Amino acid sequence: MSSDTHEAMEGAASAGAVPDMVRLVMEQIQRRTREGTPLDDALKEALVSAGGREPFRGETPYVQVPPVKKSIVDTSAYQLAYRAASNLPKLEQGTYSTWLYRFKSHLALIPKAVEHLTWLEYPGNFIAPGWTMPSVLPSSGYDPELDHALGTMMVLTIGPKLQTSAMREARKQGGDLLTTMHAVLKRRVCNTNPSTRLRVEEKLSKVRQSKESIQKIGDTLGALFEEAENAGWEIDEVSQVLYLLKAIIEPYHSRRSIMLDSLDKGEPLTFQAALDKLKEEEELFNSRTESDVSATARATTKDTHGNNKGVGGGGGGSGGGKGGGGGGGKHRYNGPGCWNCGKTGHHKHQCPDKAVDPDKTHTNKGGGNKNTSGDSFKSQ
């Protein structure tokens, strides 16, 4: 670039007759050309650094538009968490702790969702083992849109009974939706007073199995364990197993003794593992019971058939006399009469009487005399 060009640019810049953006571009071009950059490249680089580019012929100058902020509701992470939360078991009375844990697990999918919350605490200042998170988090960087989005997602996880009352109170109190909703729900489903704990303890001590299945007993105890957690009372795994072993009936006492020995030795045993072992024992017990019932039924059927003499049986059938001489349940013929003696209950080749003259069509043994039909007509 010639000295005349430099002087012309410096004069134009010092004259103040050009806008600030043009002056900035000219200064960058001067600096780059002094460094040895070709004029065309220096011009392009100056335009790019100034927020624009060299327009093509016939093209309107390019103006850089700042990026538009994307709504949290439109992000794929929120949509995924929204669908997952809608499938959660609904929050009702006595299920607060499990609901809170599952809800927070789904919130972890959304960036900054967990940090946004101000209510990450267990009821009654109860802190689960292993949790180092403070009971209340600072609400710095509060985002009203994120709060509304998370509050909308929370509404999906509430049962119909709690949803109506919680929404009514949230509208009255105002404030951010998420924190207000949670405060209302926590007050309605959490009872941390000593009387609640005493009531749960009494329920646990009375749980006994009668005709319920092992799974049904496990579900009953699990609901009470969760109710105790809502009251701020943590029941450890060993105590949960002991409550289960105390509730089962006598057929499972042998398996109970084995598990008690394991606990005495300090071997780890969770409530779910103990429940699975008892369910296996229940299946074995039911299969043995079915086998015993089937064997008894077969024995009864065999005895009944053995005492049944059948048709023509000795004294027990419909065709006594010689024809039923103690058949003892043997199948007897019950078709048309014998062609030899005329009686029913046997074929001709089985006839106990002696063979008669083929010319005689009937044999009468009632009076001890054998007469042909012709003799009978003659006597008449």
Please state, in angstroms and rounded to a whole number, the distance separating the CA atoms of residues 342 and 313: 18
- The answer to whether position 208 is within a domain reads yes
Which of 284, 301, 318 is the endpoint of a domain?
301
Residues 185 and 199 in one domain: no
Residues 185 and 77 in one domain: yes
The pLDDT assigned to 306 comes to: 53
Long-range contacts of 360-365 (CB under 8 A, 24+ apart): 365/341
Query: How do residues 31-62 score in pLDDT, each as one tens digit?
Result: 878 877 787 777 777 776 666 555 444 444 44
Indicate the pTM of the whole model.
Answer: 0.39
Q: Name the residue with tokens 């103990």.
A: 274
- Examine the pLDDT at 71 and tell me if it is beyond 70: yes
φ, ψ of residue 158 in degrees (nearest 5) = -100, 140
CB 44 within 8 A of CB 53: yes
- The answer to whether position 129 is within a domain reads yes
Residues 82 and 167 in one domain: yes
Mean pLDDT of 4-21: 52
- The answer to whether position 340 is within a domain reads no
Query: How do residues 85-143 score in pLDDT, each as one tens digit?
Result: 778 777 766 667 777 778 878 777 777 777 666 544 444 444 444 444 444 444 444 56
- Examine the pLDDT at 269 and tell me if it is beyond 80: yes
Which of 189, 208, 228 is the endpoint of a domain?
189
Query: How do residues 288-345 score in pLDDT, each as one tens digit?
Result: 766 555 556 555 555 555 554 444 444 444 444 444 444 444 445 455 677 778 777 7
The pLDDT assigned to 242 comes to: 92
Say how many domains are in the chain: 3
- The answer to whether position 61 is within a domain reads no
CB 126 within 8 A of CB 144: no
- The answer to whether position 380 is within a domain reads no
Residues 178 and 236 in one domain: no
Residues 92 and 185 in one domain: yes
Residues 153 and 126 in one domain: yes
Residue-number span of the structural domain to which 216 is assigned? 194-301
**List of E strands, the chain:** none
Question: What is the secondary structure of 158-217 as a DSSP string?
Answer: B-HHHHHHHHHHHHHH-S-HHHHHHHHHHHHH---SHHHHHHHHHHHHH---SS--HHHH
- The answer to whether position 327 is within a domain reads no
**DSSP-based three-state secondary structure for 100:** helix
Residues 289 and 253 in one domain: yes
